[in-house]
Amino acid sequence: MTTEQRRNLHTFGDYVRKILDPTYILSYMAPWFRDDEVQHIQAEKNNKGPMEAASLFLQFLLELQEEGWFRAFLDALNQAGYSGLYEAIESWDFQKIEKLEEYRSLLRRLRPEFKTTINPKDILPEISECLISQECEEIMQVCSNKGLMAGAEKMVECLLRSDKENWPKTLKLALEKEESKFSELWMVENGAKGVEMKDLEDDETKTFDVQIFYKEEPENQNLSQNSHPSSEAPHIYSPVKPRNYQLELALPAQKGKNTIICAPTGCGKTFVSLLICEHHLKKFPQGQKGKVVFFAVQLPVYEQQKSVFSQHFERLGYKVAGISGATSDNVSVEQIVENNDIIILTPQILVNSLKNGTVPSLSVFTLMIFDECHNTSKHHPYNMIMFNYLDQKLGGSSDSLPQVVGLTASVGVGDARNTAEATEYLCQLCACLDTSVVATVKDNLEELEEMVYKPQKFFRKVKSPTANRFKSVISQLMLETEGLAKSIFEELGAISLENLFQIQNRKFGTQKYEQWIIAVQKVCMLFQMPDKDEESRICQALFLYTSHLRKYNDALIISEHARVKDALDYLKDFFTNVRAAGFDEIEQDLTRRFEEKLQELESISMDPSNENPKLEDLCFILKEEYHINPETRTILFVKTRALVDALKKWIEENPTLSFLKPGILTGRGKTSQNTGMTLLAQKCVLDTFRTNGDNKILIATSVADEGIDIAQCNLVILYEYVGNVIKMIQTRGRGRARGSKCFLLTSNDDVIEKEKINIYKEKMMNDSIVNVQTWDEAAFKEKIHQIQIHEKFIRDNQGKAMPVPDKKNKKLLCRKCKAFACYTADIRVVEECHFTVIGDAFREHFVSKLHPRPKNFGSFEKKAKIFCARPNCSHDWGIHVRYRAFEIPVIKIESFVVEDVETGVQMLYARWRDFHFEKIPFDAAEMSRCAQDLSLQGMGDLE
């Protein structure tokens, strides 16, 4: 067994866990496992299921040191009937198994229908070759003992684990033979799907052509003949004649057809939507009125489009209003919709309003326009709105439905590997939006191309630093911290946990290490002992060790892409916060170890020889471009907020670049480090960048890569930044001005390779659009209709399989120290999504500190943060708020471990909606009957 084989087996372990029931091969592996290990695996299967048993089996397997066990494992797989898994591991090629995932996903969605319509005894003889022989016996046994429905459920479980390449097709044939109605739902395409991607030309590693639209004025001024900056724009509105290609794009929608408009970023799709909207509103006869709703996902885009629509339509006498998540608490959605002709919305507002009945149905609208409509998939708010639309359409409602128009620069290809699959993906998107036309510029391409500049996109491959002293020091600290955690396991003899630290070839400073440490941390949180005080001590220690490891890993990632100084500042801030919290003996020890190395780390951070080569190359690009054109305006895309801050500091402190006066643009969502930018801050940054010539560069995360118009930008730099084909098209489209350039700067060959694949996928996407446009419209509509019926059937059946709430009482324990917090019986749900705890007992378990950012949101007044009251813990549990007349805590489930009172089994949940306990609504009368309202503990100290 070589090190590489051991590493590969660990790397591909998820495939083994999803497929293997280890109890079927234990008899073949008996010489390699102890009796107690065999019993442990069997018990894990009985108590938790085959996947958990497979995890334990793999754990024991990777511990073996004797020669020959790897071949014995392969032989056992082969003899037990796991031919697909055997073949995949022997060649380390899991493509055939991976291809089955789409069918597994479909079967999971169809599980309720399968259980109620399939007689497993009828089809088992036909599909037995796709299952393990013992599985076939177990299915028959379940049918005999528990009935056909339970047998069908068992068959689904077995099929989901099948490693046989042909099981989807075999199941299809079996269903057809039995003339089962389920066969109509089980859609399996004929023929191989895979196709080899053509090799890209070698010279494309240097440059390739992309299309960037040239505009001399921002798109939100596209309706004006002047080209003044917004700060100088005159107040007189002067509409211009639309260009021919814009009329071509608008024509199908103006004819009343549901349409997806796919056109390059910056070519005036917003203007096209204004043409469609104006035509739509004017077509109604006297006495009738149209009502338009325009959706924008991103809040900056929402603000931008609300301004554009107001400017254009209010002069025509139409009423325009907007509602977003930032304003919805202060306005009546019902009145806004009723009293206006055009409503600009973030889509979740309408999802909520349809759910609570504020908007009775989509029939109140006559036209819906979806900006960035490629987002209409899965559980995105766009798709939730269209679910409502399609339910009304397919349910036979007599109420009229609004026309649907989608706008996008890229429809995407999903996971498609060839043009045929990309075409199917496009059909799926059209079905979601109920569109029968995909409009692109065809007849007026020459006019469009007159305004299209074709720059070169540059791939800049930068060498990584050969010697990294900072990484050496931090890696040593990480090894010491791992050793401290490991010593706890050795002290306890907790072998099953100790083995988590035996995984070889972990590379510090990588996303994989981050994922691994998160997995370790979760397992440690669920560690249990008979002595609960000792359990609390151990869990708190492991929580601290793994948290520090995670921060060290973050710092290494920052140093890889920015300066050592920025990474060191990140760690210094972290240890400052550690000192301000519980600061127990372990934290004191870890802080001492860091501070012992601090002088050396400071010295490394100030050593010019440790300059990051990527920053040197970025500096060269910026100096060169601004030397050629001092008026250059740049957007620098990066992956994380931490990197945004680091690069901003670097530019400001670099004497040759500080004249750029960088601005930053990040999302509004919270992360573990910060709370993101407010909407007002985002608007100010964008306005400043558009109008202030002093701000020459904007450093942004993905919030700026979709929909936001920054027309003056002529240089886009993707700094280790790559995504899917949609993201590629969107980000390059941020460069709007003539002479635009786009650089991809990376030290990773995989990043360049992924971008090259995106180029190939863009060609597939364009070919798929051409394919669809050549189809007969009636035939296309019928195909879309069939997809809609199929998807609705799946949705309807999914809705019937809602999880049953567990009424058994559970404990909530502090995720850091395992201190008892409360029982689920005392938890109440406030306004459907906030969770509080009633009774005076809970107040004894937390302490509170004045909130650093108190504010009102909805019916809540945020007043304080609450923390675990146990000494030296101080884990963040949530907030304390004033709600109506009550002072109540609002807790977050990610701060707790859930323990079953009867069995002692512990679980972790990331979201409340994943925790299916009996949720009791908040009752003001019940609160009033309590002995006293909960009040802030130590409030006197806070005032």
In contact, 736 and 634? CB cutoff 8 Å? no
873 is annotated as contributing to ligand binding: yes
> Tokens 């007002």 belong to which residue?
680
- Could you give the count of Cα atoms lying within 13 Å of 239 in the half-sphere of its Cβ? 13
868 is annotated as contributing to ligand binding: yes
What is the DSSP secondary structure assignment for residue 839, as one 8-state letter? S
- Could you give the count of Cα atoms lying within 13 Å of 706 in the half-sphere of its Cβ? 23
Q: Whole-angstrom Cα distance, residue 575 to residue 601?
A: 14
Q: Whole-angstrom Cα distance, residue 268 to residue 452?
A: 13
- Could you give the count of Cα atoms lying within 13 Å of 921 in the half-sphere of its Cβ? 5
Burial of residue 315, with CB atoms counted within 10 A of its CB: 0-12 exposed, 13-18 middle, 19 or more buried: exposed
What is the DSSP secondary structure assignment for residue 211, as one 8-state letter? -
Q: Whole-angstrom Cα distance, residue 548 to residue 481?
A: 8
Q: Across the strands, what pairs with 837?
A: 827
Structure tokens at 812: 């909530």
DSSP characters over 162-210 = ---TTHHHHHHHHHHHTT-THHHH-----S----PPPPPPGGGGTEEE-
User: What are φ and ψ of residue 860, in 5° steps?
Assistant: -110, 140
User: What are φ and ψ of residue 233, in 5° steps?
Assistant: -60, 135
Task: State the Cα angle at 362 between 360 and 365, rounded to 5°.
Answer: 110
The type of residue at 41 is I
Which residues lie below 8 Å from residue 911, measured CB to CB, with a gap of 6+?
A: 893, 894
Burial of residue 326, with CB atoms counted within 10 A of its CB: 0-12 exposed, 13-18 middle, 19 or more buried: middle
User: What are φ and ψ of residue 848, in 5° steps?
Assistant: -130, 150
Q: Whole-angstrom Cα distance, residue 228 to residue 247?
A: 25
699 three-class SS: strand
* Helix residue ranges, H only, 607-733: 613-628, 641-653, 679-691, 725-732
In Å, the largest CA–CA distance within the chain is 88
Structure tokens at 473: 């020091």
With the CA atoms of 820, 822, 824 and 829 taken in that order, what torsion angle do they form, in degrees rounded to the nearest 10? Answer: -140
Structure tokens at 718: 């993707």
Cα-based distances in Å from 678 to 395, 665, 670: 42, 10, 11
Q: Whole-angstrom Cα distance, residue 437 to residue 444?
A: 18
DSSP characters over 487-507 = HHHHHHT-HHHHGGGG-----
Structure tokens at 295: 């959706």
**Residue positions forming the annotated binding site:** 814, 817, 868, 873
**Residue positions forming the annotated binding site for Zn(2+):** 814, 817, 868, 873
